[in-house]
Structure 1
């Protein structure tokens, strides 16, 4: 596996022809003192300027006809981060991304991976790499085209996607 960071990771999106699919399985991605999360919990306004590079990436991909899909497997009841991420996900959807939610208790843990990942065109897998620690910062993707790994990731993708609910229809159970 090769670690793709920065532009090398962004190129995975640029090279995709049909789909970029992301599976998220963690309940937290930032520490409790993450400024946008703190502002959200305090009910303070947010300009989301920090999020624009990602939204531009989604728009560029979808404008080329590439579907950008994301499934989030979440614990119920939702924690503060999940509520925050769900709130921000409306911006993902407005940019063209299909974001869906799957309560963790509705899928057998054996049908999931232990890591987050992206799969591009059902042929290139990039396992999400974080700095060490529970709330480590994202640093890139460990990329592989190994056919057995790709086949397994495709199985997980199809299973999760078949159970996940679109953001617009998802309410915390």
Structure 2
């Protein structure tokens, strides 16, 4: 399996035509760029958001052209500290143009199998998947690109089912 870096995955946002959708299934992400800001948040220190600026600019540019970027975050309740931090930052995602919904893990339909071994994924224009892979400590290894129509169709089905039952960010009170 060949993996692309997070930077290479982010380049996919420049080329999609209509919709990018992210399914998030983890209660903690060990992303190196977040280590410092997360630690500062744990200590109650302010965050200037500079580490988030390049993502915000990318999302503003993409959504400013009429394309959509959506996420469903499936989370365990009560929330891990990481998810609490992520929730506190989500308004920045929304202000950058993303649409984010939350789904408590216990509300996942029990008969809905999660494709791609239950990994997180980005789906671009209902035809290209970037499936996240992580090491044993939760660090991002990279993304696997998949275009197989049967796998993409499974992800579309899951996206549509979860989008409909997830709670919009502005109405989700953890």
Q: TM-score, normalised by structure 2?
A: 0.89
Change (3 A) 1:169 1:4: same
Question: Where does 1:1-150 land on structure 2 (aligned, <5 Å)?
Answer: 2-5=2-5, 7-30=7-30, 34-108=35-109, 110-111=111-112, 112-113=114-115, 114-130=118-134, 132-136=135-139, 138-150=140-152
Could you tell me how far 1:57 is from its partner in structure 2? 1.3
How far does residue 109 in structure 1 lie from its aligned partner after superposition? Answer: 5.0
Root-mean-square deviation (CA, aligned residues, Å) is 1.9
SS class of match (1:34): helix
Q: How many aligned positions are there?
A: 169
Measured after TM superposition, the shift of residue 6 of structure 1 is 5.0
Q: Deviations over 1:6-54 (max 9, x none)?
A: 55323311111111100000001128x9322222122210011111111
39-48 vs 16-25, which moves further: 39-48
Secondary structure of the residue aligned to 1:171 is coil
The runs of 5 or more residues in structure 1 that have no matched partner are none
* 8 Å CA contact 1:19, 1:68 repeated in 2: yes
Q: Distance in 2 between matches of 1:3 and 1:135?
A: 16
Deviating 4+ runs (over 6 angstroms): none
- 1-structure distance, mates of 2:7, 2:81: 31
